[in-house]
Amino acid sequence: MDTKIQEMLDHHEIRKVLALYCHACDRGDAELMASVYTGEDSFDDHGLVQAPGPEYATRMTANILERTDAV
């Protein structure tokens, strides 16, 4: 496959994952947020919350739901 076409396809897939992640954050949906991570081998670090992907999703959505009125 042409490298430029592959790059376009890769960018498209990345944007889809980012959109899914943002949607999960907006909805406070831990299960959906966890689905964008590769599993326990992934890691996310956002200052106060540092954890493997699925645990990060659970902890971060709990923070979002606790501190946000508009979910």
pLDDT band of 68, cuts 50, 70, 90 = confident
- Counting every residue written for the chain, the total comes to 71
Instruction: Show the domain range for 25.
Output: 3-67
| Residue with the larger pLDDT of the pair 3 and 47 | 3
Taking only the tens place, the pLDDT of each residue in 9-62 is 999 999 999 999 999 998 999 999 999 999 889 999 988 899 999 999 999 999
- 3-state SS, 10-57, equals HHHHHHHHHHHHHHHHHHCCHHHHHCCCCCCCCEEEECCEEEEHHHHH
Q: What is the pLDDT of residue 4?
A: 97
Q: What is the pLDDT of residue 47?
A: 86
**56 CB-contact burial (10 Å; exposed 0-12 / middle 13-18 / buried 19+):** buried
Contact status, residue 29 vs residue 57, Cβ threshold 8 Å = no
Q: How far does Cα 32 stand from its chain's mean position?
A: 8
Q: What is the pLDDT of residue 70?
A: 63
Q: How many domains does the chain have?
A: 1
